Structure 1
Amino acid sequence: MHSRMGLVQIQDRLSNKDSLGATIDATNAYNILSNWDRRNNLDSKGAHVFRELWRNVDFNETTDTIFSVKFDVKDPVNTPRGLITNDDTRTALGDSIKFFRDKNIALGASLSDLQYIVDTGKNDERIAMHGGFGREGVFNVAETRGTRANDGANYVINFGLTYMQTITFDSSGPVAEAFLGYSQASDTTRPFHRDQSRRYSHKKWIRLPFSASDVSDQAVGDKMQLKE
């Protein structure tokens, strides 16, 4: 999914400083952010660098001093935009670089290398998760709550992947698809413990029954008819 705030340009990339005043060579980070696809897909490279940069910038969507194009209630999709490059944003990038450098995490790593949930029923197998933090402006919210990074600089997801549903239309009418991101069974020995999580990881949406015939075909158990 796109990151709505993701059009970041950092200039003077050789003179960035972290919050402690140390000079940070940001050339590599600059190139990675320039080539980032501005998505939080599993193969997106640089999404994590933007995440920590964005977390370090002190703003909200209506802060007039952060964006060159201010928030417009008549254009909420495209505004605000244009992050202003100044000492604060340079420091934010410097701190982001240092955060990963201190943990020996490559700035060019793919999101799938860093962001996942754990299947304790299968020897703590990691299931890579796409998505991002709500602050990043994404639809598929996947966050680490409680600690900034539970496993080094990795993002062990424990928030956001609940019930997700989309509705589109084809020639036959509504098309409903959904996920239960954490799956249904808390019992780690059950086959439904992480089945939908794996589908979510691979974006294999589950088609929901909508028509009477679909409902009848997929019904489980005895039919119950309700009357007033």
Structure 2
Amino acid sequence: NQRNFDIVDHWLAMNLAHNMDQFKQSFRQYDGVLFNNTLAVDQQGNTFYIDDSTVPNLTPTAEQALRSDPILVQTRESIGFSILPGTSAVFDFDGPVPYEQAPKLERTDFVQNSNDSYWLTNPASPLTDYSILYGATHTEQTLRSRMAHSLLSDSAGQDGRFDLDDLEQMLFSERAFLAEAVLDDLLELCRIQGHEPVAVEIPIPGTSTATASTQTLAVNIAPACHGLASWDGRYGKNSRGAHVFREFAQQFATDPQWLAPFDPTDPINTPNTLASNDVVLQHLARAVLVLQETGVALDARLGEVQFVEYSNLDGTPSGEKLPWEGANNVEGGFNVFRSIADDSSLIPRHVYPPIPGSQISAEGQGYQISQGSSWIMFVSFTQQGPQARGLMTYSQSIDPTSVHRDDQTRLYSHQPALRPLHFTEKDIRANTLSETRLNLDVSQP
């Protein structure tokens, strides 16, 4: 992509398209959507998906080598992407994969993508036999993808379709796939365990991982179990105990304990069923230890421990923590947010350091949100034209003196809801707050 200058022209062509054919033509003409999954729908109810990532157009010989050479396969599995050996001309390529060979799907029910590969854009029409560089197929799906498929199947209105209200309720339901899959079984393990401590082995503080020095602790998980029993299973702002399950999910992700393994012929429903074993109890015990280290109460509301906090101009914390609802990928949320320790921003910004192996911070007393659902938009085609709602959760201005620095952020924090997006000239004029005209005199040299 170093010399790829199609970005502006491609996005402009998509925005100017009047119909689906013109929209697809933008992908034939340009290659400026460098790494995104693109989904579109028209007023006739036709849906279109394409993964037009800028992928090297390899020869069949090179593709086969990436799939079968033990070293190349092992490298891909260990680092998550393919390495093309520079020692063989077999791996030379001339440009990206053309439009005709990119993963695409057209349907009249739905297309979706939740950050997995193109494979299950729609489970009724799995996509296969594309370049391996586009991603894997026949592999276990993330919990978020499985949550998306669940929402599509059980959240429609009585007519089996979605209107704007259905979509908004679906997004802000704050459901989590892992909770729906294992919480009842986990609570049963809690009941059986009672107040009997769970023995868990943890690293000795201050020792290096190379020495592998550990100690065994006896952890009473009963208070955490009580918190989980009172939890509503959602990641709403007022959900008590949601963070306990998140820390369990964080541990579960390192060593998942499923009775039924992944089956590529049933990828939406597998793996499933929580195993009844000591490892599961140890996951919960380690979650308790993490929360004890932070000092966060086990029965705290999510909005008390998950927050957005702006920085002062010098990068110090503002001290105002805005309560934030929403789940995380690790527990299989759909409306997802996360906390990351690294920050590539050139603007001074404070970051509360997380506890190793978690996203929660002892210093910050919770989860400092830094990424997640940002631009949210729903559109419905009606007889009166497009009806739309949307929200930019991080707001539109970086000017600390502007009312638009955090107005939409505060709206989400107070009560997640979308704003009307005006489409007709009449509605735009009626809701215009200010107007600025720029004039350029092109007659001057």
TM-score (norm 1): 0.82
1:117 corresponds in structure 2 to 308
1:138-157 → structure 2 map (5 Å cutoff): 138-146=333-341, 147=354, 148-150=359-361, 151-157=363-369
Hey, what's the Cα distance between the residues in 2 that align with 1:98 and 1:168?
47
1:134 corresponds in structure 2 to 329
Cα shift readout 1:43-98 (whole Å, capped 9, x = no counterpart): 011110111111111458xxxx7323444567655544322232222111001111
Residue 37 of structure 1, aligned match among 227, 232, 253: 232
Mapped contact 2:338–2:372 kept (Cα < 8 A): yes
Q: Is structure 2 residue 282 aligned with structure 1 residue 91?
A: yes
Mapped contact 1:161–1:182 kept (Cα < 8 A): no
Cα shift readout 1:95-115 (whole Å, capped 9, x = no counterpart): 111111233211111001111
Q: Is structure 2 residue 393 aligned with structure 1 residue 181?
A: yes
Secondary structure of the residue aligned to 1:57 is helix
Mapped contact 1:70–1:80 kept (Cα < 8 A): yes
* Paired letter, 1:37: D
Closer/same/farther in 2, CA of residues 149 and 175 from structure 1, 3 Å limit: same
Bigger mean CA offset, 91-100 vs 30-39: 30-39
* Paired letter, 2:247: E
Mapped contact 1:18–1:98 kept (Cα < 8 A): no
Residue 27 of structure 1, aligned match among 222, 226, 231: 222
Q: Which runs of 4+ in 1 moved over 6 A?
A: none
Residue 17 of structure 1, aligned match among 199, 202, 207: 199
2:435 corresponds in structure 1 to 221
Bigger mean CA offset, 142-151 vs 49-58: 142-151
Hey, what's the Cα distance between the residues in 2 that align with 1:84 and 1:216?
59
1:203 corresponds in structure 2 to 416
Secondary structure of the residue aligned to 2:178 is coil
Secondary structure of the residue aligned to 2:223 is helix
Hey, what's the Cα distance between the residues in 1 that align with 2:383 and 2:408?
28
TM-score (norm 2): 0.44
Bigger mean CA offset, 157-166 vs 145-154: 145-154
2:169 corresponds in structure 1 to none
Closer/same/farther in 2, CA of residues 167 and 23 from structure 1, 3 Å limit: farther
State the structure with bigger RCO (CA 8 A, min sep 6), 1 or 2.
Answer: 1
1:2 corresponds in structure 2 to 175
Query: What's the offset of the Cα at 1:209?
Result: 1.6
Percent identity over the alignment?
26
Cα shift readout 1:9-33 (whole Å, capped 9, x = no counterpart): 3312434233333121111211221
1:162 corresponds in structure 2 to 374
* Paired letter, 2:240: K
Mapped contact 1:2–1:38 kept (Cα < 8 A): yes
Mapped contact 1:49–1:107 kept (Cα < 8 A): yes
Mapped contact 2:176–2:333 kept (Cα < 8 A): yes
Hey, what's the Cα distance between the residues in 2 that align with 1:217 and 1:74?
53
Mapped contact 2:306–2:324 kept (Cα < 8 A): yes
Question: Please, which runs of 5 or more residues in structure 1 have no aligned partner?
Answer: 224-228
Query: What's the offset of the Cα at 1:143?
Result: 0.8
* Paired letter, 1:56: Q
Closer/same/farther in 2, CA of residues 108 and 187 from structure 1, 3 Å limit: same
Secondary structure of the residue aligned to 1:125 is coil
Larger Rg: 2
Closer/same/farther in 2, CA of residues 95 and 72 from structure 1, 3 Å limit: same
* Paired letter, 2:177: R
* Paired letter, 1:83: L
Query: What's the offset of the Cα at 1:135?
Result: 2.1
Query: What's the offset of the Cα at 1:173?
Result: 6.0
Hey, what's the Cα distance between the residues in 1 that align with 2:269 and 2:242?
20
2:249 corresponds in structure 1 to 54
* Number of residue pairs matched by the alignment: 220
CA-atom RMSD in angstroms: 2.9
Query: What's the offset of the Cα at 1:172?
Result: 5.2
Hey, what's the Cα distance between the residues in 1 that align with 2:281 and 2:234?
22
Hey, what's the Cα distance between the residues in 1 that align with 2:292 and 2:277?
23
Hey, what's the Cα distance between the residues in 2 that align with 1:165 and 1:185?
19
